[in-house]
Amino acid sequence: MATATRRRGQVPQPAAPPQDDAKAKAAEAKAAREAAEQEWKDLIAEATSADGKYEAGSDQIKDAILLELEAADVGDRINAKREYLRLMNRNKALSEAQQEFVETLFPLKKRGDHREEEDVEATRKFRLVIRKLNAEDYQVDES
């Protein structure tokens, strides 16, 4: 029996499971991200709290922040619209002209794939034409 106990005692213990090491690295990376984010937040707070002769700069920075937030919101709305139009296209719920619109403005490609130069140029020119349109002509009747 002593031999069995001695043998069990001699068996090398496995190192910490790799999962624990991965968790530690993930926690470390998260802490680093949070620290960097806090540094940026501190900079923003300092840049937007100026008084006196620097107040105009503070106001401009606040406006820039609001524009960035609006741009992020618009980007999210564009992505949602793109997904919905692609769904409608897959379900054959669009006319041929509408399909061409979707395929030109929101071309479908797999991650890592590159589009042909002429397709990229067509999308760019199409977007320029859209930006010149009068928004009032394309309001959707919500009633």
Ordered by start, the domain boundaries in the chain are: 31-93, 95-133
Listed residue (56, 111, 53, 104) closest to 82, CA to CA: 104
Per-residue pLDDT reduced to its tens digit, 59-107: 999 999 999 999 999 999 999 999 999 999 999 999 999 999 999 988 8
Residue at token pair 């940026």: 40
Cβ atoms of 102 and 94 within 8 Å: the answer is: yes
Per-residue pLDDT reduced to its tens digit, 2-18: 444 455 556 566 665 66
Listed range (41-45, 77-81, 105-109, 139-143) with the worst mean pLDDT: 139-143
Listed residue (97, 99, 107) closest to 127, CA to CA: 107
Q: Is the pTM of this model over 0.85?
A: no
